[in-house]
Amino acid sequence: MIHYLDNSATTQPCDAAVRALSDALERWGNPSSVHHLGQTADALLKSCRSTVVKSITRLSRFQNPMDKLLFTSCGTESNNIAMLGCAASKKRTPNADGILGTVIISEGEHPSIDNPAKRLADQGYALVRVPTKGGVLDLGFLKTALENAKANAAPVIFAAFMLVNNETGAIYDVKAASSLVKRYFPDAVVHCDAVQGYMKLRFTPATLGADTLSVSAHKIHAPRGAAALYISGEVIKRKNIVPVMPGGGQEDGFRSGTENLLGIAAFAAAADYGYTNAETHRKTVADLRAYLNERLAELAESGVAQNKPEKQLDNIASIVIPGVRSETMLNHLSAREVYVSAGSACSAHSKKKSDALTAFGVEDDRIDSTIRVSLSYTNTKDDIDALIEGLRTGSADLQKK
């Protein structure tokens, strides 16, 4: 029996998603075609869009008719469209030092935010990373950065704050950071990568103060290949975002390419299922997390401990097993069909030290010994028992004596 505890990497598609995907095979027409087949595909696409809109805004349609929800292929694409699309939207005049403007992100963001931000830095933008020590956004640092940007005539054009860190589970105060940015630069686009918080926390773009916001289907029990980007009507009105991939003009011109209707149908079904059962799912995960914490405490004698942010999502636990390299522990657990990860799935092969854990303040040798356990409502206490048993034997056998 497998014990899948890597739900922040990806999730098993739920029954509703699998059914919707299979049903959508009947509607194989191109949603842009004008004939009947195209129209039935387009009708499905429209209904999927309102389902996903509801899962994000809690309303069946946007209050501001100019608001948009684009379907994309993945969270990475949504993040790139928001950031690069914003940077390309205006001709920028350099300040006296040749700086085109300022981009702010938090330290330890997912590479799909950090890497496009580095690209903008190469193009002449000042890049500021707000510290997240202990899992808390440093708002004092942010305020000083905003004052400096003002004083240096390098206006903030884009700021990105993730809702939940994918490695530590830290929940950031996106609303407070957004309000601060807007106080100094009302026209800046504030983006939230909500990929890890979607369906796990109650939020809307408005409650987070986000102008743009990303979510991804495969983190909520749908298959990979679909995701969404919310863009506020204000951003559209101010022309603060332009398409980064010109083409046939699908998704209101912001994301050309024939829509992946199968993936989108599965995404909408998982979103509907997750939204309808959100409270029950949260309660299940909260109970599992309490049990995990309790059982982990039994291993305290072997030095097993958690990297505990001030505010943490119940779904993600960052666990240190001193003296055992995370990869070694991962293999030990994997042999027992207990699946976890060392840091995030996308950096697992890079051998690079985790930026998120470094930003959190974890010492280098402990970063090397940290594993991420990520829960879902599909898990049971048996999964946790299997993990604890694996950690117990692993720390006894593998810890450097």
The torsion angle over the Cα atoms of residues 103, 107, 108 and 112, rounded to 10 degrees, is 0
Tell me if 266 contacts ligand PLP by CB under 6 A: no
Q: Which is nearer to ligand PLP, 309 or 390 (CB)?
A: 309
Find the distance separating the first CA and the last CA of the chain, reported in whole Å: 32
Residue of the chain from 11, 80, 178, 196 that contacts ligand PLP (CB under 6 A): 196
Q: Which is nearer to ligand PLP, 87 or 222 (CB)?
A: 222
Closest distance of CB 177 from ligand PLP, Å: 16
Angle among Cα 348, 9, 215 to the nearest 5 degrees reads: 125
> How would you classify the pairing of strands 305-306 and 338-339?
unpaired
What tokens appear for 87 in the block?
Answer: 């940077």
Taking a C-beta distance cutoff of 8 angstroms, is the pair 198, 204 a contact? no
What tokens appear for 57 in the block?
Answer: 């805004």
Residue of the chain from 44, 74, 154, 288 that contacts ligand PLP (CB under 6 A): 74
Q: Which is nearer to ligand PLP, 76 or 240 (CB)?
A: 76
Tell me if 112 contacts ligand PLP by CB under 6 A: yes
Closest distance of CB 352 from ligand PLP, Å: 16
Closest distance of CB 132 from ligand PLP, Å: 13
Per-residue binding string, ligand PLP, 121-150, x by CB under 6 A, is: ------------------------------
Number of chain residues interacting with ligand PLP (CB under 6 A): 15
Tell me if 110 contacts ligand PLP by CB under 6 A: yes
The span of 123-131, 189-197, 359-367, 382-390 binding ligand PLP (CB under 6 A) equals 189-197
DSSP string covering 115-164: HHHHHHHHTT-EEEEE--GGG---HHHHHHHHHHHHHTT--EEEEE--SB
Tell me if 284 contacts ligand PLP by CB under 6 A: no
What tokens appear for 257 in the block?
Answer: 């390419």
The span of 32-40, 70-78, 308-316, 365-373 binding ligand PLP (CB under 6 A) equals 70-78
Closest distance of CB 109 from ligand PLP, Å: 8
Closest distance of CB 197 from ligand PLP, Å: 9
Neighbours of 383 (CB within 10 A): 22
Residue of the chain from 227, 271, 324, 338 that contacts ligand PLP (CB under 6 A): 227
Taking a C-beta distance cutoff of 8 angstroms, is the pair 168, 109 a contact? no
**CB neighbour list of residue 32: distance below 8 Å, 6 or more residues apart:** 38, 42, 248, 250, 258
The span of 69-77, 150-158, 246-254, 306-314 binding ligand PLP (CB under 6 A) equals 69-77
Tell me if 271 contacts ligand PLP by CB under 6 A: no
Angle among Cα 252, 248, 80 to the nearest 5 degrees reads: 65
Alpha carbon 12 to its chain's center: 17
Chain residue whose CB lies nearest ligand PLP: 75
Tell me if 75 contacts ligand PLP by CB under 6 A: yes
Taking a C-beta distance cutoff of 8 angstroms, is the pair 271, 55 a contact? yes
Closest distance of CB 95 from ligand PLP, Å: 31
- Helical H runs in 246-342? 261-276, 278-297, 326-335
CA–CA gap between residue 79 and residue 193 (Å, rounded) = 7
Name 212's bridge partners.
191, 231
Tell me if 76 contacts ligand PLP by CB under 6 A: yes
Three-class DSSP category at 66: coil
Closest distance of CB 150 from ligand PLP, Å: 29
The span of 188-196, 235-243, 322-330, 382-390 binding ligand PLP (CB under 6 A) equals 188-196
Residue of the chain from 7, 168, 216, 347 that contacts ligand PLP (CB under 6 A): 216
CA–CA gap between residue 370 and residue 365 (Å, rounded) = 9
Q: Which is nearer to ligand PLP, 67 or 167 (CB)?
A: 167
> How would you classify the pairing of strands 156-160 and 227-231?
unpaired
Closest distance of CB 131 from ligand PLP, Å: 18
Residue of the chain from 102, 106, 166, 307 that contacts ligand PLP (CB under 6 A): 166
Residue of the chain from 42, 193, 251, 383 that contacts ligand PLP (CB under 6 A): 193
Residues that bind ligand PLP (CB under 6 A): 74-76, 110, 112, 162, 166, 193, 195-196, 216, 218, 227, 344, 346
